[in-house]
Structure 1
Amino acid sequence: MKKYLLTIVLLMCITIACKEEKNETAAAQKELTLLEKIAFANGYENWKNVSELKFTFNVDRDTSHFERSWSWKPKSNDVIMVSATDTVSYNRKQMDSIAENANSSFINDKYWLLAPINILWDENNITQEHLSGAEAPISKKPLQKLTVVYGNEGGYTPGDAYDFYFGNDYIVQEWVFRRANQAEPSMVTSWEDYVEKGGLKIAQMHKMPEANFKLYFTNIEVVTD
């Protein structure tokens, strides 16, 4: 009898183990969406560990230079902006008119820094179209193209469109910004000089073809738990 009961217990354990292994395998084989593939290629799986993100947003145009620095604690939504003329501290859950003005700049600068992840955060407010083969606007290389169009309601730039160009590694190499989803590009820049910080993959440099213009990031710091 004891031997019979032991056999039953062993069979039950084997059955449970097989079911767990099957469930784990199914989860591992779950196909990621395109937005997820792009976000994960840029370290999205590590975002949960980020307690603070610091960076300086820079723009050089001809002989002029502009910069502003940010400290963002995403878990509490505390933000500090430091520019040549102002220092503004605010919480994104409780904003007055001064904070609203600073936050519009924060949204812009953060988007340039984290767009491959940001589009996943914004997936409920966008439409998307994917082409497996398209000519990149700067390099003229054959790349994949994802067009993202934001909804007309809410946000700081409703209705705007972005064309992301990337290879089979899902790392963005170039993009096009089209204001209000117009056909002609409003801005075309490269995505280059990638660096890894705190598990996030970030393009530090964006250059515009045939123009004395570059948008870039310095003092990038990712603090993790």
Structure 2
Amino acid sequence: MKNISLLIILFLLLGSCKKETNKNLNPLEKIAYAHGFENWNKVDEIKFTFNVDRDTVHFERSWEWRPKKNEITLIKNGEELDFNRSQILSDQELAADKNFINDVYWLLAPYKLIWDDGIEYKDPILSQAPISKDSLQKVTIVYSSEGGYTPGDAYDFYIDKDNMVKEWVYRENNDPTNCMITTWEDYKDIEGLKIATMHQNENGVFKLYFTNVSVKTSED
């Protein structure tokens, strides 16, 4: 009986610690961890195809990313380009890296809230989501005007009670007249990473989505 009692006490203490840890997270960290950020350190490779449908026009490119080695493979129009992000050697690799950063942002934006430097954010406020009109918490971030490929950009993340992103607004150079608004939907749990595989605008004419998403972890 003593052993059983000790196990129960230990379980309760661990549960209490976890709650305390969650309380200590800032709003950006809460969003990242809600999307499975704690599982990222196990990822050896992630593959995905980035797709855009605009009216009747379709565009796609595929990526293979080995984050622990910083190695990237771009697959587009049947051709492959391999490069390492720590050593960009050509204009072709630089262009590919800019595209990679864009596509990964759409795929893993909640994680970028932790990864990226130079972010200023405002605490969540209750606000009406622009597409669904639901009452959600809005978290606004603004990037520093220096560094990166798109300095000064801003994003409004609309999150539910579980800190899951449901919609967002992207404002280029933090300009409210130059923005893009899309949903975050069709979430899939892939090796603990919670990824929204579909983003679309209000009328569905623009769709940005991910296919062929796979994750290889150190436990595979």
What TM-score results when the alignment is normalised by the length of structure 2? 0.88
Shift of 1:66: 0.2
The C-alpha deviation readout for 1:154-208, integer Å capped at 9, x for no partner, is: 1011000000000110000000000000123510000000001111000000011
8 Å CA contact 2:29, 2:114 repeated in 1: yes
Match of 2:124 among 131, 140, 143: 131
Give the unaligned 5+ runs of structure 2.
Answer: 1-11
The C-alpha deviation readout for 1:32-74, integer Å capped at 9, x for no partner, is: 1111111110000000000001000000011110000000000
* 1:44 paired to 2:41: no
Q: Which residue of 1 aligns with 2:216?
A: 223
SS in structure 2 at match of 1:29: helix
Q: Which residue of 2 aligns with 1:108?
A: 102
* 1:196 paired to 2:189: yes
Q: Which residue of 1 aligns with 2:82?
A: 89
What code does the residue aligned with 1:71 have? E
Match of 1:212 among 198, 205, 214: 205
What code does the residue aligned with 2:98 have? S
Q: Which residue of 2 aligns with 1:29?
A: 20
Aligned residues: 205
What TM-score results when the alignment is normalised by the length of structure 1? 0.86
The C-alpha deviation readout for 1:138-169, integer Å capped at 9, x for no partner, is: 01111000111111111011000000000110
Structure 2 distance, partners of 1:188, 1:138, is: 8
Structure 1 distance, partners of 2:143, 2:43, is: 26
Which of 1 and 2 has greater Rg? Answer: 1
Shift of 1:119: 1.2
Structure 2 distance, partners of 1:27, 1:190, is: 30
8 Å CA contact 2:188, 2:195 repeated in 1: yes
Structure 2 distance, partners of 1:208, 1:23, is: 42
8 Å CA contact 2:51, 2:61 repeated in 1: yes
8 Å CA contact 2:29, 2:113 repeated in 1: no
Structure 2 distance, partners of 1:187, 1:128, is: 19
8 Å CA contact 1:130, 1:144 repeated in 2: no
Percent identical: 50
Structure 2 distance, partners of 1:141, 1:28, is: 27
Structure 1 distance, partners of 2:63, 2:37, is: 20
Shift of 1:86: 3.9
The equivalences for 1:6-25 within 5 A come to none
Structure 1 distance, partners of 2:170, 2:16, is: 40
Structure 1 distance, partners of 2:86, 2:217, is: 22
Flag as ranges the 4+ runs of structure 1 deviating above 4 A: 21-28
The change in CA–CA distance for 1:76 and 1:132 in structure 2 (over 3 A counts) is same
8 Å CA contact 1:176, 1:185 repeated in 2: no
Structure 1 distance, partners of 2:16, 2:159, is: 29
Structure 2 distance, partners of 1:24, 1:174, is: 31
Give the unaligned 5+ runs of structure 1.
Answer: 1-20
Structure 2 distance, partners of 1:211, 1:22, is: 48
What code does the residue aligned with 1:116 have? P
